[in-house]
Amino acid sequence: MSVERDKNDHFHDECGVFGVFDHPEAANLTYLGLYAQQHRGQESAGIVCTDGHSFHSHRGMGLVADIFHKSEIKELTGRHGIGHVRYSTSGDSGLRNCQPFSFEYAHGGISMCHNGNIVNAPELRKQLEQQGSIFQSTSDTEVLIHLVARSKAATMPERLSEAVRQLAGGFSLLVLVEKRLVGVRDRDGIRPLVLGKLDNSWVLASETCAFDLIGAKYVRDVEPGEMVVIEENSLTSYKPLGNDCKPHFCVFEYVYFARPDSTLEGVNVYKARYQIGVELAKESPAEADLVIPVPDSGVPPAMGFAEASGIPFQMGLIRNHYVGRTFIEPKQSIRNFGVKLKLNPNRELIRGKRVVLVDDSIVRGTTSRKIVEMVRAAGAAEIHMRISSPPTKHSCFYGVDTPDADELMANKMDLEEMRKAIGADSLAFVSFEGMYRAVGKPRESHCDACFSGVYPVAIEGPRSPQLSLLKTFNKKR
């Protein structure tokens, strides 16, 4: 994941999940699974463990390593666990919205967390409230728990299936209930969810990098619309949403969200990013002396660009890895202070050189402008900006925090206007064709709505929210 830049000038994945079933060290493993996925959310984290009867939970604001210490982990007893890391917009980042959520209902305890957005949650919530339900949080997860609790179906898989059928959006869910661990992926498989094995225990995670840390083996991706129910000695696959679910996996995971050492749909993220750089160099070459990445997610595409173009790769921007969330700003204003806190140009390398600068995306454009300005001030003779995704013109409704579309630079400006606005000598984005060639997957099985405006969860139709609802939802965020 890229350096933590201006929080409002980048897309943010909202969550990561991890679950383990039947392991004596369930709490420790869940902690490590979250630790490995910290890049998916840094504002809060939570773990719930159970032995099948009582549920033990700890949730807090901040980073995983700051929330969980030996004493907290010791309290999380039980052989089954789920955990969650969360990024959220400032308005609803309080402790009450930290996941997982745990409740008692007619059939015992239930605990749940999810990654993504249930786009019709506001509507479902309104209906539930009109029928007397009381909510403790503003989280979509709680809506789902109410739907499960109200179901009259006889078995747990049926109750959960009934609830999931009412949802629209992009989400991956983990549920601990009745001595079972359940993983569910939305019908389009927009958000990732992978299944693994650690000795005799099943594990579920948003990304395979969580498996690597705990020594688990990747088994397969949970399929779009699939519900895997793990219980003693068995894993059963259900298709509560029918057998015709077509994948529309988030292509932005390859560009930016996922860790480069993760494997998505069988594709190594680092390799995909590197290949995007190769495609960029073929599509939009530049006469230059150096290829410089904007760290971190700009590094693999910059390496690919360098290899394909024959232009030397250099770390011309050095990232400070130890930037905290708070800092003291000097009273006398320093130009581009926020960006300088995180990135510093290596003047010796840059001075007098024609530079290709590679970054993953341009959102509002404010950070790109500051970085170009900084590199120019370090003495670059020319700056050719290359972006390893198509222009981001639209908001995401599926679990990624994005500005409103009218705040996105590419939504308001054409390429030349953008180039001028960020102050580069040339600007180019990878094409859709180049991006999918690099990933090695067909476009039709992916979501690229933030680039194309084509939303896989249809704007109109029986299972989809209406456009007005999406707009309202976006405004709320």
Q: Which residues bind ligand SF4 (CB under 6 A)?
A: 170, 190, 250-252, 396, 398, 400, 447-450
Minimum CB distance to ligand SF4, residue 92 (Å): 19
C-beta of 76 vs 190, nearer to ligand SF4: 190
Contact 22, 200 (CB under 8 A): yes
Minimum CB distance to ligand SF4, residue 145 (Å): 24
C-beta of 18 vs 398, nearer to ligand SF4: 398
C-beta of 257 vs 313, nearer to ligand SF4: 257
Report CA-CA distances (Å) from 11 to 17, 344, 361: 19, 22, 9
C-beta of 209 vs 435, nearer to ligand SF4: 435
Contact 444, 456 (CB under 8 A): no
Is it true that the peptide bond before 390 is cis, omega within 30 degrees of 0?
no
Active site residue 396: no
C-beta of 169 vs 240, nearer to ligand SF4: 169
Minimum CB distance to ligand SF4, residue 171 (Å): 11
**Sign of CA pseudo-dihedral 386, 390, 394, 397:** negative
Minimum CB distance to ligand SF4, residue 119 (Å): 11
Minimum CB distance to ligand SF4, residue 337 (Å): 29
Minimum CB distance to ligand SF4, residue 412 (Å): 18
C-beta of 142 vs 188, nearer to ligand SF4: 188
C-beta of 4 vs 448, nearer to ligand SF4: 448
Minimum CB distance to ligand SF4, residue 256 (Å): 9
C-beta of 22 vs 186, nearer to ligand SF4: 186
Contact 188, 246 (CB under 8 A): yes
Minimum CB distance to ligand SF4, residue 175 (Å): 22
3-state secondary structure string across the chain? CCCCCCHHHCCEECEEEEEEECCCCHHHHHHHHHHHCHHHCCCEEEEEEECCCCEEEEEEECCHHHHCCHHHHHHCCCCEEEEEEECCCHHHCCHHHCCCEEEEECCEEEEEEEEEEECCHHHHHHHHHHCCCCCCCCCHHHHHHHHHHHCCCCCHHHHHHHHHCCCCEEEEEEEEECCEEEEEECCCCCCCCEEEEECCEEEEECCCHHHHHHCCEEEEECCCCCEEEEECCEEEEECCCCCCCCCCEECHHHHHHCCCCCEECCEEHHHHHHHHHHHHHHHCCCCCCEEEECCCCCHHHHHHHHHHHCCCECCCEEECCCCCCCCCCCCCCCCCHHHHHHEEECHHHHCCCEEEEEECCCCCCHHHHHHHHHHHHCCCCEEEEEECCCCCCCCCCCCEECCCHHHCHHHHCCHHHHHHHHCCCEEEECCHHHHHHHHCCCHHHEECHHHHCCCCCCCCCCCCCCHHHHHHHHHHC
C-beta of 153 vs 454, nearer to ligand SF4: 454
Integer Cα distance of 272 and 263 in angstroms: 10
Minimum CB distance to ligand SF4, residue 284 (Å): 22
Sheet holding 426-429, edge to edge: 290-293, 354-359, 382-387, 426-429
> Which of the residues are catalytic?
15
